[in-house]
Structure 1
């Protein structure tokens, strides 16, 4: 046991992931409500209160109603310290979400009862499976008509390749939605649509008692009994170990908008979800219980505060205790640094913190010292892995639309690229800057933010490219020959590495065949 065991044990760090519109931001807001971190619910959709959801604070997010940046929120609940990372559901920002998943110990997946499992959710689940991250499923919007709960469970098993086990069960749905029976705690939660208050709970130890009929009527009580019997017959008994291994996903039903089923999810979550887990570094496995501090940067965000031109590096603490003003080693620079104003987040409200423990996420003001994947330690050389940049699939030339503002434009591009929103390549043939992204929406976000945060105007020009590949080879002669032949398509990334911009799948395959000694990589980590 380490000296900080108690602090580490009480932490739960998780991400909420879902398809856009499944109700992720609403769920986050309701969880914050239980933690007393915000005091008015429904502040998202209500026009009377011109407040937007605490987690969507970037201007463009408010206009579009989507989260494009991962926000971090922390609150205390029942002796536990909970860190939530709200991730963008929009697929153009999948890369941001993939990186966020490297910083959490477990995940809650939100699924819309009417739409079921959608493509984006599948992709994210693959990442969870790869990392063996434990998953809890919350089936949302039960107050609207949706698919049959058993069909939904089958669909989740089939589409996400994970075994499920319902820990709560809905009683009807849509207009006729009566509530859920909490299998985990053997309680009946009756539903009254209200966005502010938590609904009444009736303890029913034995669902075969006639007491149940009094609450929901005989026909529904009968259906519930046979459903539960079926569940007990079909699904294995829930065991926390299997969930922690990532082999089974507990399922809860509710309506985040009406604050129903959320508390049950949270109560079960703090009981079964893992506290911070060991993290694999290139050198060794880092245990959260170790006494020395270590952590890595998994995200960089420019302009959290529009009044200050600063970036914030989000650091996930992997072990030990972080102290304000202590000296820590920036491994890539090989130099010691001190941080006088580390912050913890409650969405937009930042507070300076004096200490933080494994599992926590802190923000360090950054003036260009950090890149995604950087490690901080008390002196040991550790490199945390698994934070790749993917090969972009959309490309445009970025041009300056206002010659007077070229300095602002360059600074803006540099800071936004540090965030990992997109990648910058400089064409070696004509020196033009090319921005590569994984989705169309990112071009809009970049243009919008350059204008509103840096006062710089950019314009996009089309360029037809298929993929960016990082290339390397021990065969110097072949490499030089390749670069000469493909000179119009050679670029450098921000690290100064060679990148080949292939203009079609055919040309890429030909190049791979013609130059057997050259390795083509599709992520920046190799």
Structure 2
């Protein structure tokens, strides 16, 4: 790569902002995602997740089950231009049962927007997702949503953020009016006041009016006076924006608004462009940094089939980590050393797909018909590199799955293999039951519903599920498996994805009994996927 090319790649990387929106279920995450796209003028009208009959779902929710339930089940990518930047926005499932999918997405972003409900504040799933951001050193911006509805006091919410997760809040905007009586937003750095007029149903951008402070003091009294007192208090305690503290992950810029009526959303989009970091060097599996202008490398963080019902293809989502991607280039799969052709490369906007000719660090490339790829795989050109794998969570729910129709076994096996390779659910092999009756393992029970729905709708393979009474998982080895196979209320299963031996127990009490009796055997904890998962 020439010096000019190095400079071009670094320049393009500097324009990228790649971030995820994370939150507890029902905090308004998909609505915010839609509102951001609306304010970037890449869609003309916003949908509604919980709209009335006949209203369409949000752009990022394309799976049939998502539209019916009004929740995000799988992550989605929205790429669009805004100002001089290129935005790669990754919408994530809020429900804890799909936390593995969210974890994979967080392996592909440079920043996150933590969405808080003005009435509920920090909730368990939000806390867990923030812990993942902390472990990955992902800077977090906070957006306090639903300020148009009754809720808690703004200062109380800031205090909760600092006391609960240790992030120092740095307000960027401040609400005039208590939750439920939002009069407008003040820019903390300049004191500029913006008043909003919502549109019908929040389908289009809210009208914004800049109001001079003198007018606001008269027209918005006493809300204006109260906001000024709160801002003076924030100034006294030194809550001003500090870029170094934000990028170091010890402080969070805070903005207020309401995603459904599109209030404060444009300011959040501007803040992401102005404050969020652009792609930087990424550390490989051996701890060595790879610069953004090094030869091409990419991390596969998600695999998804069935996005286009008219084409039974399979798409791998790859984050460009370094260098310039060009469609048609032949890459090397780091895990196998085999070549991988990229003739069918696409840019993604929800369910919509367009052919892409090039991409740069921070961009998300959809690789079609990527049957050889799994989440966590690395692809590279020229200089070999491999990025750390994305770990699988400890499953807490188990069920034996069987094909319900004798003539559908071929479709059943193909469907199980597909779901396993996508990471929709973990597939385990049991020596007691054989390949005809694999064990499905899930972080949450909704994963079973998604798996059975897809087996029936995509592969025409109706199934039956037989729940198993296990709830605790540990990784073991061959020696440990030999001992554990002789115990009651314990079973050793083989994970199809990587051949790992997983010991599953009926309870934590049973696990501790085995540990005391056989202290020499290997029983390693896996990453926890829920707030009350194993230690």
TM-score w.r.t. the length of structure 2 is: 0.92
Report how far residue 502 of structure 1 moved.
2.1
Equivalent residue, structure 2, for 1:104: 109
Match of 1:199 among 204, 207, 212: 207
Report how far residue 193 of structure 1 moved.
2.4
Correspondence 1:369 to 2:372 = yes
1:165-204 counterparts in 2 under 5 A? Answer: 165-174=170-179, 176-194=181-199, 195=202, 196-202=204-210, 204=212
Equivalent residue, structure 1, for 2:130: 125
1:63-462 counterparts in 2 under 5 A? Answer: 63-174=68-179, 176-194=181-199, 195=202, 196-202=204-210, 204=212, 210-217=214-221, 219-431=222-434, 432-462=437-467
| CA distance in 1 between partners of 2:422 and 2:494 (Å) | 18
Match of 1:502 among 487, 505, 518: 505
Report how far residue 347 of structure 1 moved.
0.6
SS of 1:252's equivalent?
strand
SS of 1:250's equivalent?
strand
Report how far residue 379 of structure 1 moved.
3.8
In structure 2, do the counterparts of structure 1 residues 19 and 175 end up closer, same or farther at CA, with 3 Å as the change threshold? Answer: closer
Match of 1:491 among 486, 490, 493: 493
- Residues 2 and 289, structure 1, Cα contact 8 Å, conserved in 2: no
- Residues 347 and 353, structure 2, Cα contact 8 Å, conserved in 1: yes
Report how far residue 284 of structure 1 moved.
4.0
Give the number of aligned pairs. 517
- Residues 394 and 465, structure 1, Cα contact 8 Å, conserved in 2: yes
Deviations along 1:339-396, whole A, 9 cap, x unmatched? 1111111111101101111111111113420111111001443221151101100011
Deviates more, 1:271-280 or 1:47-56: 47-56
| CA distance in 1 between partners of 2:303 and 2:22 (Å) | 19
Report how far residue 158 of structure 1 moved.
1.9
Report how far residue 175 of structure 1 moved.
5.0
SS of 1:499's equivalent?
strand
| CA distance in 1 between partners of 2:88 and 2:452 (Å) | 31
- Residues 31 and 262, structure 1, Cα contact 8 Å, conserved in 2: yes
Deviations along 1:56-109, whole A, 9 cap, x unmatched? 010011111000100011010001000000000011011111111111000001
Deviates more, 1:12-21 or 1:386-395: 386-395
Deviates more, 1:270-279 or 1:489-498: 489-498
| CA distance in 2 between partners of 1:390 and 1:44 (Å) | 28
| CA distance in 2 between partners of 1:265 and 1:176 (Å) | 20
Equivalent residue, structure 1, for 2:514: 511
Query: Which residues of structure 2 form unaligned runs of 5+?
Result: 1-5, 529-535
Report how far residue 327 of structure 1 moved.
1.2
- Residues 27 and 145, structure 2, Cα contact 8 Å, conserved in 1: yes
RMSD: 2.1
Report how far residue 524 of structure 1 moved.
8.1
Deviations along 1:110-148, whole A, 9 cap, x unmatched? 111011111110001111111221111101111111101
Deviations along 1:295-347, whole A, 9 cap, x unmatched? 11111112111222222111111101111111110111211221111111111
Report how far residue 197 of structure 1 moved.
3.1
Equivalent residue, structure 1, for 2:66: 61
In structure 2, do the counterparts of structure 1 residues 185 and 417 end up closer, same or farther at CA, with 3 Å as the change threshold? Answer: farther
Deviations along 1:176-196, whole A, 9 cap, x unmatched? 321111114532110222222
- Residues 144 and 173, structure 1, Cα contact 8 Å, conserved in 2: no
SS of 1:103's equivalent?
coil
Deviates more, 1:361-370 or 1:388-397: 361-370
| CA distance in 2 between partners of 1:336 and 1:344 (Å) | 22
| CA distance in 2 between partners of 1:284 and 1:89 (Å) | 31
| CA distance in 1 between partners of 2:190 and 2:429 (Å) | 59
| CA distance in 1 between partners of 2:233 and 2:429 (Å) | 61
SS of 1:191's equivalent?
strand
Query: Which residues of structure 1 form unaligned runs of 5+?
Result: none
TM-score w.r.t. the length of structure 1 is: 0.93
